[in-house]
Amino acid sequence: MNQDRPETRGELLDAWTRHLSLRRGLSEHTVRAYAGDLEDLLGFLGVDPDESAPVGPVLRGLTLADLRAWLAALAASGHARATLARRSAAMRTFSTWAFRSGLLRRDVALRLHSPRVDNRLPAVLTVEQARDLLAAAAQRAEQAERADRAAPPPTRRAARPGAAGALARRDLAILEMLYATGARVAELCGLDLGDVDASQRTVRVIGKGDKERVVPYGAPAARALDGWLAVRPRLTSGASADALFLGARGGRIDPRIVRGVVHRAAADAGVPDLGPHGLRHSAATHVLSGGADLRVIQELLGHASLATTQRYTHVSTDRLRAVYARAFPRA
């Protein structure tokens, strides 16, 4: 057996990410996503999460049916078609590489088809519902801070003093920034402290294909962000580095945590359930309804094509009637 062939989970993931970065020249964002897809598949196949766990037997027995079962489980748990399509693409790339590397007996994903991407618009909040969601989150943050101040140190259950209040402040800032900037969840998680220009109320966002854009945010988001930054030191650890948003253990926040924050906030506020992408779409819709043209929305969302922007935005019937009445001579 080739001594350079990865035999453990850790070695496999390292070799896979090196291949994606060096051989295929994919962006850092795509490499992280594809590595996460492989980690998820290994977990589904029963590979121990320990870095030293062997992967050889599982890979040698991998079949197309296994990949289809994994995607079916993801679909059943509510993953969007776009996510399933990307994971299918990741596994086709992995299968070809692993077969050529001698890890698979055959290229098992050759006939793995991606589901058609669902072009239906995601859920969108009304302006009033968005206001309710953010107001409820602000109220929770105030309550958590008061509870932290009232609790004597010996009775605090949090791993660190004031952690509950800090997490609530973080959640509020996340919600405000998602709505204010229309950022994708991965873009938000990738933000560093240096990306924020508080004096100009703008944030530098690295989007798909490592394309950079500068997005403004409003006064409510600025207040929420200031509130979070004031308590961020309560959660910092050696793993924090320059990450703007932190998880409970101090490392850079994970997209899954952000999705949970948005879903819980919607439930608490009594508004229709939605995820981070729903807030992104809500922001674009509200800016468009306020009078912005599609080119502005395209820049805000970081779309390469205006056609993509047209799919993500829609105009209310009332605004359409109003524009028609002003513009058409026989209205």
123 CB burial (10 A radius; 0-12, 13-18, 19+): middle
Tokens of 106: 């055959």
pLDDT-flagged residues of the chain (< 50): 1-3, 154, 156, 158
Q: What does the pLDDT read at residue 252? A: 94
Residue 5 DSSP one-character state? S
At 96 the pLDDT is 95
What is the spatial distance between Cα 144 and Cα 76, in angstroms, rounded to a whole number? Answer: 35
Percent of the chain whose predicted confidence (pLDDT) is above 70:
89
pLDDT attached to residue 159: 53
Give rounded-to-5 percent helix, strand, coil for the chain.
Answer: 60, 5, 35
Amino acid at residue number 71: L
In contact, 194 and 280? CB cutoff 8 Å: no
Domains for the chain: give ranges and CATH numbers. Answer: 9-100 (1.10.150), 127-323 (1.10.443.10)
Please report, as a single letter, which amino acid is at residue 53: A
Pairwise CA distance, residues 45 & 70, whole Å: 8
- pLDDT at position 131: 96
Instruction: Please name the residue that has the structure tokens 């100009």.
Output: 200
> What 3-state DSSP class applies to 74?
helix
What three-state secondary structure class fits 309?
helix
Helix (H, G, I), strand (E, B) or coil at 303: coil
Model confidence over 167-207: pLDDT tens digits?
Answer: 999 999 999 999 999 999 999 999 999 999 999 999 999 98
**Cα 38 from Cα 24, distance rounded (Å):** 16
Sort strands 196-197 and 202-206 into parallel, antiparallel or unpaired: antiparallel
3-state secondary structure 150-164: HCCHHHCCCCCCCHH
Which neighbouring-strand residues pair with 205? 213
The answer to whether the CB of 48 falls within 8 A of the CB of 58 is no
Radius of gyration of the chain (CA): 23
177: left (phi over 0), alpha (psi -120 to 50) or beta: alpha
Q: Which residues are catalytic?
A: 184, 208, 277, 280, 303, 312
Task: Dump pLDDT digits (tens) for 60-114.
Answer: 999 999 999 999 888 887 777 788 888 999 999 999 999 999 999 999 999 998 7
